[in-house]
Amino acid sequence: MFDYKLLSALAAVVEQAGFERAALVLGLSQSAVSQRIKLLEARVGQPVLVRATPPQPTDLGRRLLNHVQQVRLLERDLQGQVPALDEGGQPERLRVAINADSLATWWAPAVADFCAGHRVLLDHVVEDQDVGLKRMRAGEVAACVCAAERPVAGARSVALGAMRYRAVASPAFIARHFPSGVTPAALAHSPAIVFGPDDFLQHRYLESLGVAGGFAYHLCPSSEGFVHLTSGGFGWGLVPELQVAGELARGELVELLPERPVDVPLYWHHWRNGGELLGELTRQLVRAAEELLVR
Amino acid sequence: MFDYKLLSALAAVVEQAGFERAALVLGLSQSAVSQRIKLLEARVGQPVLVRATPPQPTDLGRRLLNHVQQVRLLERDLQGQVPALDEGGQPERLRVAINADSLATWWAPAVADFCAGHRVLLDHVVEDQDVGLKRMRAGEVAACVCAAERPVAGARSVALGAMRYRAVASPAFIARHFPSGVTPAALAHSPAIVFGPDDFLQHRYLESLGVAGGFAYHLCPSSEGFVHLTSGGFGWGLVPELQVAGELARGELVELLPERPVDVPLYWHHWRNGGELLGELTRQLVRAAEELLVR
């Protein structure tokens, strides 16, 4: 079996963001922690940490960390059955890849009770809904919210529902760019806002309207920034209905083509052997998503 | 001099997110675009693009792109003086590294008029306030909003003011974790929320209260998600005053130690040879920051 003393040292250094704090938490000297990391690297034959401030795990380091977290979840189930094993309990860490728009809207209300009730700490890794699954495949996260249905090996996927996006812009932007109404051609010639290089929502929207070719766009990899840029009149963009209900009601944002929302389906992927805790989280998420997402 | 036909092909492929769209924009065949990229790579002796979908610039590719954008800004100044040079004008792209909290709060209102008035498209690169300057040093962005004052070679820095952060939590969280009042020791034993591995605001805050050692925290690399997690009762955290005025007024968030805000100074770094456009943006930013930030 793996040497979990070494793996725990790695987890402590990353979670505590430094050797000094890790040593405090582990009750060891700093040089003992350092020795354990070096020994681990000698065993696996590769660096597991980049010695920056704070230390960052390498790709291999991240996989080992995720394994440690998975083992801890399984230990937690066992502690429930064999209370004597319980060592006084650090809270669990759960690494979850999630798209920024979910994190900016329905995620926190959906999992709040679960996290408070089970003393779980979340490590969110923000990934576009089309690429989050890569993190799962690489073994870097325990679970993932993304738009792909097909689970990776060793995992299960559950349909949560869809996020509904609406194409919106500010009244001033509409007056400036669409004086004779919103047409596909006029849309293609006015600046858009795109979340990042992996975001093709706007591209696909224009394609669905029969517009081909490039278009001008601002790049804004921040959900809240995205909404600020649309209401500030920088461009038009597709935003989650959940996020701009207030702006739409107050008329700060106006829908461009009300009959054409875009629904992005979301799936919850989680390890098949994630333990009871991950199972309980899955059940709670599915219940909450029924209210918060579109079916 | 560089061959700008080749560099423009690189810029088009990245900006249009593909060879096909780049070819459309440049009025070339796709294979001609591909040839230009190969020729550029032969000249610089390294790949400039990762052939993914969409194509991503390599580190060297990003530096070349930034150079193209810098040259375009200078050309724009010249066109103003020699109108015959104007070729009908694509909008300019400006790559800016910025911390997520600025993008989520004061940035859009501060630059909205400028962008609409000058037909500028912004490429935002989100970086923690402590590390954005690295992008500037690497030549990947034309300007940067960050917490470091000292400019890199070839750039200028201007003080904008400070963002004021307040330590907040939800009333339910406070009732659960601080039944006998908010003390530094109680804070250290309740879960915090931390933006990412480069975010030490919470660490420094606890240190300033005389608390040493590690503490439990959720990681949430999203400004809006951060606020949702605090109001959802996941933990306490330092949030920009600008972002939670409504939540504080409505009592959804409560300040923990009202007499202890944290001010993070922000500086605007820009190329010294960025042309008139960058100078005009700088003047507008400084004016807007006077109203939006703390002095």
Q: What's the complex ipTM?
A: 0.73
| pLDDT of amino acid B90 | 64
Nearest CA in chain B to A131: B53
* Residues 123-162 (B) with a CB less than 8 A from some CB of A: 123-126
Least confident of A281-285, B87-91, B172-176: B87-91
Please give the structure tokens belonging to residue A213: 């070719």
A214 and B116: CB-CB below 8 Å? no
Range A136-165 average pLDDT: 89
| pLDDT of amino acid A81 | 61
A220 contact residues in B (CB cutoff 8 A): 103, 122, 124
Which of B56, B203, B232 is closest, CB to CB, to A108? B232
* Residues 184-223 (A) with a CB less than 8 A from some CB of B: 191, 197-198, 200, 203, 213-214, 216-223
Range A24-33 average pLDDT: 88
Q: Are B69 and B94 in contact (CB under 8 A)?
A: yes
CA-based nearest distance A37→chain B, Å: 19
| pLDDT of amino acid B278 | 86
Q: In which band, very low, low, confident or very high, does the pLDDT at B84 lie, cut at 50, 70 and 90?
A: low
CA-based nearest distance A40→chain B, Å: 22
The helix or strand, by DSSP H or E, that contains position A203, with its residue range, turns out to be helix A201-208
Which of A22, A224, A234 is closest, CB to CB, to B223? A224
Q: In which band, very low, low, confident or very high, does the pLDDT at B167 lie, cut at 50, 70 and 90?
A: very high
B108 and A213: CB-CB below 8 Å? no
Please give the structure tokens belonging to residue A36: 């354990």
Nearest CA in chain A to B103: A225
Q: pLDDT of A167-215, one tens digit each?
A: 999 999 999 999 999 998 899 889 999 998 778 899 889 989 988 777 8
CA proximity to B14, closest of B93, B70, B89: B93
Residue among B229, B230, B281 with most chain A CBs within 10 A, to mutate:
B229
* Residues 44-63 (B) with a CB less than 8 A from some CB of A: 54, 56
Range B144-156 average pLDDT: 89
Q: Are A196 and A237 in contact (CB under 8 A)?
A: no
Residue B168 has pLDDT above 90, yes or no: yes
| pLDDT of amino acid A82 | 58
Range B166-189 average pLDDT: 92
Residue A83 has pLDDT above 70, yes or no: no
Please give the structure tokens belonging to residue B73: 């800004």
CA proximity to A198, closest of A104, A149, A128: A128
| pLDDT of amino acid A268 | 96
CA proximity to A266, closest of A73, A92, A128, A118: A128
| pLDDT of amino acid A102 | 94
Q: pLDDT of A95-149, one tens digit each?
A: 899 999 999 999 999 998 888 888 888 989 888 766 778 888 777 788 999 999 9
Which of B125, B213, B224 is closest, CB to CB, to A24? B213
B121 contact residues in A (CB cutoff 8 A): 191, 216-218
Spatial separation of the C-alpha atoms in residues B271 and B250, rounded to whole Å: 43
Range B214-225 average pLDDT: 88
A225 contact residues in B (CB cutoff 8 A): 100, 103-104, 107-108, 124, 223
Kindly state whether A177 is in contact with chain B, defined as any CB-CB distance less than 8 angstroms.
Answer: no
Alpha carbon separation from A196 to A128, A147, A155, A199, B164 (Å, rounded): 8, 16, 28, 5, 28
Q: Are A168 and A256 in contact (CB under 8 A)?
A: yes
Q: In which band, very low, low, confident or very high, does the pLDDT at A275 lie, cut at 50, 70 and 90?
A: confident
Residue A92 has pLDDT above 80, yes or no: no
**Can you list the positions of beta strands (E) in chain A?**
49-50, 56-57, 92-98, 120-126, 143-146, 155-169, 192-194, 217-219, 237-240, 254-255, 262-271
CA-based nearest distance A194→chain B, Å: 9
Beta-bridge partners for B239: B166
Residue B81 has pLDDT above 70, yes or no: no
Interface contacts A/B by beta carbons within 8 Å = 145
**Packing angle, helices A275-292 and A107-118, rounded to 10:** 150
Range A56-75 average pLDDT: 81
Q: In which band, very low, low, confident or very high, does the pLDDT at A89 lie, cut at 50, 70 and 90?
A: low
- Of B97 and B69, the structure prediction assigns the larger pLDDT to B97
B219 and A124: CB-CB below 8 Å? yes
Residue B109 has pLDDT above 80, yes or no: yes
CA-based nearest distance A58→chain B, Å: 14
| pLDDT of amino acid A90 | 64
Range B80-89 contact pairs with CB under 8 angstroms and sequence separation of 24 or more? B80/B276, B89/B119
Least confident of A127-136, A232-241, B35-44: A127-136
Q: In which band, very low, low, confident or very high, does the pLDDT at A4 lie, cut at 50, 70 and 90?
A: confident
Kindly state whether B104 is in contact with chain A, defined as any CB-CB distance less than 8 angstroms.
Answer: yes
Spell out the domains of chain A, with CATH numbers in brackets.
1-90 (1.10.10.10), 163-264 (3.40.190.10)
DSSP state letter for A45: T
Which of B25, B104, B197 is closest, CB to CB, to A224? B104
Residue among B28, B51, B124, B231 with most chain A CBs within 10 A, to mutate:
B124
Q: In which band, very low, low, confident or very high, does the pLDDT at B82 lie, cut at 50, 70 and 90?
A: low
CA-based nearest distance A226→chain B, Å: 8
Q: Is the dihedral of CA B209, B170, A106, A169 positive or negative?
A: negative
Which of B108, B214, B222 is closest, CB to CB, to A228? B108
| Mean pLDDT score of chain B | 87
A107 and B24: CB-CB below 8 Å? no
Residue B5 has pLDDT above 60, yes or no: yes
A228 and B103: CB-CB below 8 Å? yes
The amino acid sitting at A289 is A
CA-based nearest distance A29→chain B, Å: 14
Least confident of A67-81, A271-285, B4-18, B204-218: A67-81
Least confident of A76-80, B154-158, B166-170, B195-199: A76-80
Nearest CA in chain A to B99: A222
Residue among B170, B200, B218 with most chain A CBs within 10 A, to mutate:
B218
The helix or strand, by DSSP H or E, that contains position B164, with its residue range, turns out to be strand B155-169
| Mean pLDDT score of chain A | 87
- What dihedral do alpha carbons A42, A43, A44, A46 form, nearest 10°? 0
Q: Are A71 and A4 in contact (CB under 8 A)?
A: yes
Range B218-244 average pLDDT: 93
Q: Are B107 and B160 in contact (CB under 8 A)?
A: no
Q: Reduce the DSSP state of residue B69 to 3 states and report it.
A: helix
A107 and B220: CB-CB below 8 Å? no
Q: In which band, very low, low, confident or very high, does the pLDDT at A64 lie, cut at 50, 70 and 90?
A: confident
Helical ranges in B100-170 per DSSP H: 100-103, 107-118, 132-137
Spatial separation of the C-alpha atoms in residues A222 and B102, rounded to whole Å: 10
